[in-house]
Structure 1
């Protein structure tokens, strides 16, 4: 395999774990200037696709029509964690839409983060589809169907016109032939598309630099939705999660997905990165991304420190005692 070492974990001086990965980065001319450990096979976007999956709803006037706030519209882009403010925003959003909760195909779920989940269960509440990690995305799907006059039944079937529209937008923005895009089914039941990391990076570059998008309607939708991602970063994930930490920086567009996929782009620098941790772990993300930003000599030290706060430098035992260290080994320059 071509994969490169991204992160090593040591316990009492002995290497105990190593995370391998692959990464691509492109510059403003869409040339690949970083290629680390790549096998050049397609990779499923997973939830890193959410900005593209939300383009259809942001292309309509339905956000304004139904009085959806910026806070609520961020749910269309979010992998929300079930915090109380997420729950309140989801309930408010559903009340504004001509949609029944049972229309959602995602599974009923408890809030994802442990504290709100415990509180929710202690109050005697049952699982709800509305509190699935991807419920906001599904509400966006259904609303986009209504706006475009599409049947809401089987809205997540790969051949449904909404999903074909999303696939077309991903092909267009990533500059990858639509016939070559692989289609699977994500954990929430929606179609998920696979393209090479370089093309993911190109697509994220256009999120950060929408002037690269020729299609005016898509460009305007991207400008709107990326502004929401930065303005409502707490909705996209939650405090102490890397998506929220990165999106607090108005220069960054970022979103992660399951099985170790992460994409981020720097607006002013005109560069974009896509990576995958090959064992599917998300825990290396902060260490790896902080290292990449430092190697890029990124000038916003506040952002780097915020990411480092999520990047454990030590292995600790159950009592919190340091028993080892964690070392980022990725090299991009």
Structure 2
């Protein structure tokens, strides 16, 4: 089972990534996506590893469930769809904006107190609608606004200063760092700034998978279980309509999944099986089928994963190939490529 003792921080080095997916066109390997993959069994033991699962890397938004757990441990009273939104990389749909406003109202603060970067909605259709309507980038529309609103709420509840809540030395961020180390089981290697402006903690891919498994296997009613239940029950609040990560949670019973920029994916089942993926070039077209293949390798019914095998490559308007995970990620049903 999982140990509560911390190991040393992962080494900061050039990751020794390996091929994880082939770009096949007309039966020829046209390109190769490199990356790293880890699969854990129910006891937390590594059952499969490709590439470098121990080097320091940035999980990006795949770490948001851990950040949400830290805030709940600090007294954040959210549950359901608002707690899911606190762990979200949302699409900027109206429900996401409305939910973020509700969190701000509960905290007794306003959008002006947010310190995430102004942006247009993440979802391309919603973003195009904003542009047509002449709406400008806003902190509310930026995909991390739910997390930032929850951070302000946690600060208010603990009488921590609102100013500087993104400073790594702020009590909130110190509390989050402590839980990152607790759930990953390792010291943080490096702290930098994520795209939204919040501190970003470097751990290993192995540590990220371990954290996800600890969240999904936690006892009911604990902060970990509350976050897992909220995200699974309100998958679209943690992402958005049409997002692959929400569809994956709907397709696989009990699965908790979170994606992150630069080709990161983590997913865990209630029995502790977990997978984590990093695509070296950050390509989503490889992230999705590789994560699905890793879940298949972990024992998820391949029939539940068919819609996540990747989009077909087109030539002249017809399918002539696909992105296919490498053979070592089998057993899983993989698409036949032209």
Residue of structure 2 in register with 1:158 after alignment: 168
Structure 1 residue 117 displacement after superposition:
1.4
CA contact (8 A) 2:41 2:274 kept: yes
TM-score (ref. length: structure 1): 0.87
Residue of structure 2 in register with 1:251 after alignment: 254
Residue of structure 2 in register with 1:187 after alignment: 195
CA distance in 1, matches of 2:74, 2:175: 14
**Deviation per residue, 1:248-271 (Å, 9 max, x gap):** 234211111111111111223x31
CA contact (8 A) 1:108 1:132 kept: yes
Structure 1 residue 199 displacement after superposition:
1.4
Structure 1 residues 116 and 33, CA, compared in 2 at 3 Å: closer, same or farther? same
CA distance in 1, matches of 2:241, 2:189: 34
CA contact (8 A) 2:53 2:205 kept: no
Residue of structure 2 in register with 1:329 after alignment: 326
Structure 1 residue 160 displacement after superposition:
0.8
Residue of structure 2 in register with 1:237 after alignment: 239
Residue of structure 1 in register with 2:26 after alignment: 12
1:112 matched to 2:128: no
Residue of structure 2 in register with 1:122 after alignment: 132
- The farther-off stretch of 16-25 and 160-169 is 16-25
CA contact (8 A) 2:118 2:137 kept: yes
Residue of structure 2 in register with 1:200 after alignment: 208
Structure 1 residue 332 displacement after superposition:
4.0
- Which stretches in structure 2 are left out of the alignment for 5+ residues? 1-14, 331-338
Structure 1 residue 91 displacement after superposition:
3.4
CA distance in 2, matches of 1:157, 1:61: 20
1:50 matched to 2:69: no
Structure 1 residue 300 displacement after superposition:
7.3
What RMSD in Å do the two structures reach over aligned CA positions? 2.2
Structure 1 residues 6 and 240, CA, compared in 2 at 3 Å: closer, same or farther? farther
Structure 1 residue 222 displacement after superposition:
0.9
Once the two structures are superposed, the pairs formed by residues 1-333 of structure 1 within 5 Å of their partners are: 2-38=16-52, 40-59=54-73, 62-63=76-77, 70-177=80-187, 180-211=188-219, 220-248=222-250, 249-268=252-271, 270-299=272-301, 301=303, 303-308=304-309, 311-312=310-311, 314-317=312-315, 320-329=317-326, 331-332=328-329
Structure 1 residue 190 displacement after superposition:
0.6
How many residues are matched? 315
TM superposition outliers: structure 1 runs of 4+ over 4 Å? none
Structure 1 residue 83 displacement after superposition:
2.2
CA contact (8 A) 1:56 1:144 kept: no
Structure 1 residue 137 displacement after superposition:
0.7
TM-score (ref. length: structure 2): 0.86
- Which stretches in structure 1 are left out of the alignment for 5+ residues? none
CA distance in 2, matches of 1:295, 1:29: 16
Structure 1 residues 320 and 105, CA, compared in 2 at 3 Å: closer, same or farther? farther
CA contact (8 A) 1:288 1:330 kept: no
- The farther-off stretch of 79-88 and 202-211 is 79-88
Structure 1 residue 306 displacement after superposition:
4.1
